[in-house]
Structure formats: C-alpha cells, structure tokens
A = this chain, B = another copy of it.
Amino acid sequence: MAMAGLADGSVRKRVVILGGGFGGIHAALGLAKMAVDVTVVDRKNHHTFQPLLYQIALAVLSPADIAQPIRSILREHKNMDVLMDEAIGFDVEQRRVKLKSGAELEYDFLVVATGSTHSYFGKDEWAKLAPGLKTIEDALEIRRRVLLAFELAERQMLETGHHPALNFVIIGGGPTGVELAGAISDISRLYMRKDFRHINPSQSCVVIIEGSPTILGAYPQDLQEAAMRQLKELGVQVRTGQHVTDVQPGYVIAAGERIDSVCTLWAAGVRASPLGKLLGLETDKKGSVFVNEHLNPPDHPEIYIVGDLAHFVQDGKQVPGVAQPAMQMGDYVAKRIGKLIGQDRGSDGPLRDKGFRYFDKGDMATIGRKAAVAKIEWPFKAHWSGFPAWLTWLVVHIFFLIGFRNRLSVFRQWAWTYLTFSDGARLITGSQELPGWEVQDGVYGMRGEITTRPLDLGSPKSN
C-alpha cells in the first residue's frame, strides 16, 4: 500500500529513519533543515537517554527525566513525520519498508538505526529470570525486582526469623554491570538501611560474574584495576573468568558453583537488531551489518546503517556500540544525504567526502555515587578514576549528552533527585512476584536450599 500524504508529486527526496535512538534522532535533526521529507519509525513513542537508564532501574530518576517523546523532539520541524510502528520487511529493489501495522513506506534514502537488544546466548528462558537493561520498561522491571527483594526478605524475616542472604547477582562486567552493581550497593548501604527494621540492607552483597578475565574489557588496564578497587570498597564481589552455565529461580551456577541470588540481573551479551538480516545484508556474528566508509552496506549507497547495528572498522578496530559513535554516525549520515541531494541538483559539483570518522572523546562508567572511571581522549588524554572521574561524568552527562531538552530544567530536576535520593522514585509497581520466591511450609519465601542467616550475623556471605 502506498503512503498517502508523502506521494504528493514533489521531487523532494524521502528519507525513512528506522529507530529513534541516538543514531536515528541525530540523523533526523541533521536533516531537519534540508529539502527532504523524513519519516522516523520507532516501536516506542519516546527517545531514551540510555546512559542513565540504570538510574531509573535503581530508583534515582523517573522515566520522564531521561525519556522524551520523539514527536516532541522533532515537533518544530515541518518536514518530519513520526510513526509509532516497526519495520518487519523490506523490498530493497523497490525501496520500500513494510511495517508491522500493514503499511509500506517508500524511500530514496533509508537510515537503519535500530540498535541492539540483549542476547542470552541462545538461553532465552533466562530472560524472565535475569532481565537486562535496554528500555524504560526493562529499567522499571529491574527496579521492581531489586526493591521487591528487600520487601520480601523483610517479610520473610518477620514471619520466620530468618531471611535469604541478600545476594544480588549481576551477570556481565561491562559498564552496565558495573554501574548497576555500584548503584545497588550504594542504595543498600546509604538509603534502604533506614527504611527496614528487621533485615539489614547494608548487609546485602552484590556479585558481578564476568566470563572474560577482566571487567570493563574496553578500558585500559589501569582503569580496570581502579574500577576493581572501587567496587571492592563498595563491597561488590567480582568474579572474573567465570562463565554462567545456568540461571535458575533463586540461584545461578558459575564455574560449577551455586551462587544464591534474591535477584539476578543480566548485563552480558547484546545482539544487533534483526533488521540487518531482514535486509539481506552481510552481518557479523552479533548481527551487525558490515558497512563501508560512508556507512553503506555493499552495493547499497541509498542505505545507511548507524549506531550499534553498524559494524564499522576504523584504524583496524571496530567502533564500539555506545552513544557517541551512534550520534556521530547520525550526524554524518544527515550531512552525507545533504551533499548527495546537492549533487543530484547539480549545485555542488563532485561530492567531496572522506567518509565517516569516529572522533573518540573518551569513555566513562560510574561506580556508585562518588566514584567512576574515565578514559578521556579529548580535549586532552587522561585516565581518571574516583571522585574526579565521577564529577567529569556528571558534567558530561548533564551538559554534553542531554542535547535536545531544556538543559537547565533537566539539570535542576536531576541534580535535586540525585543529590537527595528523593523518596518518590522508590516505587514498586506491577506484580509482586519474584522468581525463586514462593509459598513453602505455608509461608512465602525463597524456595530451595536457601542460605538463611540470622539478622545479626556479621558481614555478607563471601562464598
């Protein structure tokens, strides 16, 4: 079915952008002033500021603090259409996208920026037991589970006089795993402690299980070591070089050992959106599409792949699937399309474009409320850790990354919430069930051979 409304007989080029993440939004904003008609398609109605998702998960911020309707972001630009829908197929020859709702969109340029999702390495049954963190919904589910684990332990303590060890197991030691671990540790010790009478949340133990030999694999060794030190200070137990072989309600098996868990979270694998394969393009094993210097897949100069979904190699290394490259790719594609249109109209002579180049300003991960590691590449090179890195993280996230909202308003609201750990965000909504917790002997609690511990029995179980 043809698109009504777009096929208006004009010679304006039609750009379809799939995905409203960093890549898609930057491409759209870059095209806003150009003589093209743009349709942005996303399953969600909102763009999410993913680097702060873990703060939703840990009840520091509210969803509205870090997400914004895509319509609102693009509201001022009359050449933009926003469609809450999902691409499910392509006719690459005819340049058409088939949407889930049944409609088809025609395009002259297609920008595919649908990112990545969790990969459970073929163990999809683990998804319900160990949720990952990619969307607002994911974050609220993690929040629900973490907060509920404390509530259920308090209840079990009141009922039986003991409660399961408050182990929070995080599978994966990349930035997300480290940030979740630091934040859980912090809220347990600093804030939850005051709220409970019978359990002692500060005795909770956060465990990171990482398959490779180090955490934060993308960081230099000194920062990995700094992160290890800072995590240790927070009481986080890090197990590297251990592969998780089973995830069950209430426990995890890693390196042959059973680790009890009141709440298990997934921060390990990601896989690219399936659209690369749906387009019939060559992908790496993660599902990312191999692209050339202009971010085109082979033989398709009209298709651009940006963000996580692009397998782009620069100086012999693959550019990582994080926010900065995605934004820069989006910017680049908008400029590239602008140049191509200029060329089409004969205004510009031969197209001059050396291709995309990722400008790495650095990388950061927070570890709790006062520490972080920062690999700074610009405006100078440095490796920072501890409080200076955390301050840098704060400033960068407020002033550089939150680009298209009223920064002052976000800053005020966020700083307030962050500095006070305001109570409102620690809401549990939705179901009151947790995997591994059920009625046994007439009382609801964690099932199986759980490790229970009298209230005043010292430090966390160290396995």
**Which A residues form the contact surface with B (CB < 8 A)?**
1, 3-5, 43-46, 62-69, 71-72, 75, 80-81, 83-85, 100-103, 136-137, 140, 147-148, 151-152, 154-155, 157-161, 194-198, 405, 409, 413, 416, 420, 422-430, 432, 439, 442-444
Interface contact B147-A424, CB-CB below 8 Å: no
A151–B44 Cα gap in the complex (Å)? 10
Closest to A410 in B: B424
A71 CB contacts on chain B under 8 angstroms? 195-196
Interface contact B67-A102, CB-CB below 8 Å: no
Given pairs A44-B428, A83-B155, 20 additional interface contacts (CB within 8 A): A1-B159, A1-B160, A1-B442, A45-B151, A46-B428, A63-B429, A64-B425, A64-B427, A69-B195, A75-B194, A81-B158, A81-B197, A81-B198, A85-B155, A101-B444, A102-B439, A102-B444, A137-B430, A405-B423, A405-B424
Known contacts A67-B424, A430-B137; decide if A5 and B43 are in contact (CB<8 Å).
no
A444 CB contacts on chain B under 8 angstroms? 100-102
A424 CB contacts on chain B under 8 angstroms? 63-68, 405
A443 CB contacts on chain B under 8 angstroms? 1, 101-103
Interface contact A103-B155, CB-CB below 8 Å: yes
| 11 A-B residue pairings within 8 Å (CB atoms) | A5-B161, A81-B158, A81-B197, A84-B154, A84-B155, A101-B155, A101-B159, A102-B159, A103-B443, A137-B430, A409-B422
How many copies, total?
A: 2
Interface contact B45-A428, CB-CB below 8 Å: yes
Known contacts A101-B443, A158-B83; decide if A427 and B147 are in contact (CB<8 Å).
no
A20 CB, nearest partner CB in chain B, Å: 12
Known contacts A63-B62, A158-B81; decide if A43 and B442 are in contact (CB<8 Å).
no
Interface contact B68-A5, CB-CB below 8 Å: no
Interface contact A3-B72, CB-CB below 8 Å: no
Closest to A102 in B: B443
Closest to A161 in B: B4
Give the residue of B3, B148, B152, B432 whose beta carbon is less than 8 angstroms from that of A43.
B432
Interface contact A195-B75, CB-CB below 8 Å: yes
Closest to A431 in B: B137
A201 CB, nearest partner CB in chain B, Å: 11
Closest to A441 in B: B102
A196–B69 Cα gap in the complex (Å)? 12
A242 CB, nearest partner CB in chain B, Å: 34
A67 CB contacts on chain B under 8 angstroms? 424, 427
A149–B388 Cα gap in the complex (Å)? 47
Closest to A2 in B: B159
A430–B85 Cα gap in the complex (Å)? 14
Closest to A192 in B: B71
A102 CB, nearest partner CB in chain B, Å: 4
Closest to A64 in B: B424
A157 CB, nearest partner CB in chain B, Å: 8
